[in-house]
Chain A
Amino acid sequence: GAVVSQHPSRVICKSGTSVKIECRSLDFQATTMFWYRQFPKQSLMLMATSNEGSKATYEQGVEKDKFLINHASLTLSTLTVTSAHPEDSSFYICSATSRLQAGYGYTFGSGTRLTVV
């Protein structure tokens, strides 16, 4: 079945630094990648949608200059949290789907727990 690999699974960084999270589709071509954020005891909230080769579409309230998304190839999307602050600490999950390969639906990565100290 479809597999999405997300790294790192856990990262601790200092306030003011940047963190990059990678999401790779291992056995299918992900034409679209979604990035979600989940706070404790809350649901997954969609942050942005990225189509391969295009600029990402951000949801209302999500700062595009703070959360940089790159989807340069059909198998890789990255989310960079720039100048991270403690309030950015959260669980970030990517999800991939493909318009090229029917039946793949949405496949989730394993998530990244970001802690900003």
Chain B
Amino acid sequence: EDKVVQSPLSLVVHEGDTVTLNCSYEVTNFRSLLWYKQEKKAPTFLFMLTSSGIEKKSGRLSSILDKKELSSILNITATQTGDSAIYLCAVGPRTGGGADGLTFGKGTHLIIQP
């Protein structure tokens, strides 16, 4: 059974701090790893990672995959209160057009205090 483990489960920091969220996985057939941000409702897509060692960036967010360690990190620099959310890590098909669903971790509940 595919397994995705995230840590920490919750994190409280002050505005302006940098945070690193972790995700590790155990899957029989790895295809890709995805990060989502979930506020009150549906998850919104952040990154899809398929290749090891290549950092993906979007503004203050960045993420990298380590296939040797079966893990990924999500970094957020200069955090803002609007970054408060649950960050979900998931493992799924590479192209995004496959027939298989995603396996999600439990998420990291991030709270940014002003």
Contact = CB atoms under 8 A, between A and B. Distances in A.
Q: How large is the interface on B (under 10, 10 to 19, 20 to 34, 35 or more residues)?
A: 20 to 34
A28 B15 CA distance: 39
B101 A34 contact: yes
Contacts of B45: 105-107
A49 B100 contact: yes
B96 A106 contact: yes
Interface stretch (A14-22, A40-48, A67-75, A81-89): A40-48
Given A44-B88, A103-B96, A110 B41 contact: yes
Nearest to B92: A106
Nearest to A45: B104
Interface residues of A, number: 29
B42 A42 contact: no
B43 interface: yes
Contacts of A41: 106
Interface of A: 6, 9, 31-32, 34, 36, 41-46, 49, 51, 93, 95, 97-99, 102-111
18 contacts: A6-B42, A31-B97, A34-B102, A36-B101, A42-B106, A43-B104, A43-B107, A44-B90, A49-B100, A95-B101, A95-B102, A102-B95, A102-B97, A106-B34, A106-B102, A107-B45, A109-B42, A111-B41
Interface of B: 34, 41-45, 48, 88, 90, 92, 95-107
The 7 tightest CB contacts between A and B, nearest first, are A105-B96, A108-B42, A46-B101, A43-B104, A34-B101, A43-B106, A99-B97
